[in-house]
Structure 1
Amino acid sequence: MLKQRILTAVCLLPLALAGLFLLEGGGFALFTGVVVLLAAWEWTNLAALSRLSARLACTAALGLAMVLLWLGGGDRAEGLLWLGAAAWLANLYWVTHYPARQAQWATPARRLAMGLLVLLPCWVGFNSLRASGAEWLLFVLLLVWLADTGAYFAGRAFGRRKLAPAVSPGKSWEGVVGGVVATLALALGYAAWLSLGLSETLCLLVATGVVTLVSVLGDLVESMLKRTRGIKDSGVLLPGHGGVLDRIDSLTAAIPVFALLRVWL
């Protein structure tokens, strides 16, 4: 398993970095669109769709929505970012009330709607951040990685109080604090690198704290859906790593929220 994980990472990491930081405009939108559509394909499984035709149709519908947004100039629409933020508030409610409120979203149609409100704003957020400069896209990618890394080590060392035992028993509040500390250090380093003023630095610190917490929620939402579906991984597209959605679950929350905060601030 470890050998598979390493080989997959070695093969995909250069491709991912090239797509994220060398492509611009339509090429970047296409690259991120393909990633989001692969995640959408896996989401149809989380929504308990079993027929191949239904899964293909739902994935194609999201692809069509992205094409129409691109042609209409709405691929960086702030309104969709706000819609995505509202959806994450609803997801927060469902995660904190799982499984008591499971019936509110458990039907396949509602799970598909949940996926649309997660994945489409994520794609819009990618485009918005890339248009504002590669440094901010790099920042949010590093933020998610450091949040996950800090949470892992802090949770291993100090984890006592469970964060969401009904959804993901391995996560702890101490791990969340470790992730926040790591990402705030990143924000301070970024502020120094970009020579930001005091007010700009404070805004970045606030945004970083919020997005770090939201990235944890992205992970929890996917865990909740997988637990409901009775599966371990969202898919098998990445040998040793599970599915695409397993790798970008935190990003699906962090990207649109950070893009919105950047526009707003």
Structure 2
Amino acid sequence: MLRQRVFTALVMAALFLAAMAFLPLPGLALFFALVVSLGAWEWAPLAGWRPAPARGLYVLLNLGVLAGLYVYCGLGQQPEPGDVQPILGLGCLWWSFLLLWVKGYPASAVLWGSVPARSIMGLLVMSFAWVAAVYLLTFPRGGILMVCMVLVVAAADIGAYFAGKTFGRHKLAAAVSPAKTWEGFWGGMASALLLAVVFWYLLPPQMAHVTLMAVIFVTLCTALASVVGDLAVSMVKRECGVKDSGSILPGHGGVLDRLDSICGAAPVFALGLLLAGW
């Protein structure tokens, strides 16, 4: 199982890096939209859209939202920060609500447990992340920034896994994900902190005005948001009585099982870079 998991992760990483290296911005926006559409296909039954035609309709609805945001934010060219920042701010606010719902689960399910509420939840989770990812690519060195965001998510996940496995005693959110512990959480944050120091050390000379504290702040907030993303999707899956969102990725489950942390991290990372003066 571990070998299969590692092999799948390497294939996904190779596809991601190849797309970043060879596709122009519109192509990358379309590529990410297709990935998000796979996530929407897997979210649909979690929201109550179980027949295949209904799942397809939900995917089309998701694509319609992405197209509207693409035009509204001017992502086809160099967008103005003022056009995108409110969307990113709403995305961060949305994940703050999800954090409260995760903390209050199972009682919070009364607020989001209906089919309409879960349907809207899925659209917001994926559309905010897609806007943030495409917007990052319009930055100077946008591809490198995307890779940095993924590295933050990976560092938090790997650090949490090994710290939790070694030291885990106290449950982080027992009703949502019994395997996660506070020790694992802090191990993930420590890994992200070390990565932030590396990022700051590797900043190019023209970014000398960016302080170490700013890099640490953005990195830790991104890592925290990735944990919330993971827990929020786990909460919905637990409410629906399923372990994985799908089986398309051997050893990993579904696409949504890989996207959850990134969906939480992307809006926070993009907004953090704006506020840090990138």
TM-score (ref. length: structure 1):
0.94
2:169 alignment partner AA: R
* 2:135 counterpart SS class: helix
8 Å CA contact 1:83–1:117 kept in 2: the answer is no
Shift of 1:20: 3.0
Q: Which amino acid counterpart does residue 223 of structure 2 have in structure 1?
A: T
Deviation readout 1:46-85 (Å, 9 max, x if unpaired): 1122222222111101112222333444346222211111
How far apart, in 1, do the equivalents of 2:3 and 2:30 lie?
A: 30
CA contact (8 A) 1:24 1:130 kept: no
Counterparts of 2:190 and 2:60, CA distance in 1? 40
Q: Which residue of 2 aligns with 1:99?
A: 106
RMSD: 1.7
Deviation at residue 199 of structure 1 after TM alignment:
5.4
Query: What stretches of structure 1 of length at least 5 have no aligned partner?
Result: none
Secondary structure of the 1:181 match is: helix
Say whether 1:175 aligns with 2:150.
Answer: no
Change (3 A) 1:198 1:27: closer
Check conservation: 1:159, 1:174, Cα contact below 8 A. yes
Is residue 74 of structure 2 the alignment partner of residue 74 of structure 1?
Answer: yes
Given residue 117 of structure 1, which amino acid in structure 2 is its aligned partner? L
Amino acid at match of 2:199: Y
- Asked whether 1:193 is paired with 2:202, we answer yes
Is the contact between residue 225 and residue 264 of structure 2 (CA under 8 Å) also seen in structure 1?
A: yes
Equivalent residue of 1:78, what SS?
A: helix
Aligned length: 265
Report the residue type matching 2:235 in the other structure.
Answer: M
CA positional deviation for 1:10: 4.5
Pairs within 5 Å for 1:254-265:
254-265=265-276
C-alpha distance 153-198 of structure 1, shift in aligned 2 (>3 A)? farther
Distance 2:90 2:266 in 1: 13
CA distance in 2, matches of 1:156, 1:6: 18
1:181 positional shift: 0.9
2:152 aligns with 143
Write the distance in 2 (CA, Å) between the matches of 1:8 and 1:207: 29
Distance (Å, rounded) in 2 between the aligned partners of 1:11 and 1:142: 16
SS at match of 2:258: helix
Q: Is the 8 A contact 2:40 2:59 kept in 1?
A: yes
Distance in 1, Cα, partners of 2:108 & 2:9: 37
Greater CA drift, 156-165 or 11-20:
11-20
TM-score scaled to structure 2, two decimals? 0.89
Contact 1:48 1:229 in 2 (8 A): no
Shift of the 183–11 alpha-carbon distance from structure 1 to 2, 3 Å rule, reads: closer
- Which residue among 117, 122, 129 is the counterpart of 2:124? 117
